[in-house]
């Protein structure tokens, strides 16, 4: 029974591990959640792999973060840097 092992992507695992990135897509009835999820994370009728889905979610999260930063900059103007700060690795 040789052959290439093809892991299956479990919708439940992705939803559990990355719920905060998926929740906006899944606010509909339970019957449609998985259908809508795979409609977004498929290309040419083939489901994307786990890493491709994470890359897609990451790109969406970055775009949303950038949008929110821009809104905050517009609202706070010159006081933006006084109100908001960014610390990387505790430094």
Whole-number average pLDDT of the chain = 75
Instruction: Read off the pLDDT of residues 57-68 as tens digits, 9 standing for 90 and up.
Output: 888 888 888 898
pLDDT of residue 40: 86
pLDDT surpasses 50 at 5: no
Instruction: Compute the distance between CA of residue 81 and CA of residue 78 in angstroms, rounded to an integer.
Output: 7
Instruction: Read off the pLDDT of residues 38-81 as tens digits, 9 standing for 90 and up.
Output: 888 999 999 999 889 888 888 888 888 889 889 989 998 998 88
Asked if 30 contacts 66 with a C-beta cutoff of 8 angstroms, the reply is: no
Enter the DSSP assignment of 42: E
| Prediction pTM value | 0.57
pLDDT of residue 42: 93
């Amino acid at each position: 029974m040789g052959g290439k092992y093809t892991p299956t992507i479990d919708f439940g695992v992705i939803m559990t591990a990355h719920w905060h990135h998926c929740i906006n897509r899944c606010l509909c009835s339970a019957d449609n959640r998985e259908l809508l999820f795979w409609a977004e994370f498929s290309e040419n009728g083939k489901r994307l792999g786990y890493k491709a889905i994470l890359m897609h979610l990451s790109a969406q999260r970055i775009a949303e973060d950038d949008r929110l930063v821009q809104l905050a900059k517009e609202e706070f103007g010159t006081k933006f840097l006084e109100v908001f700060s960014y610390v990387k690795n505790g430094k």
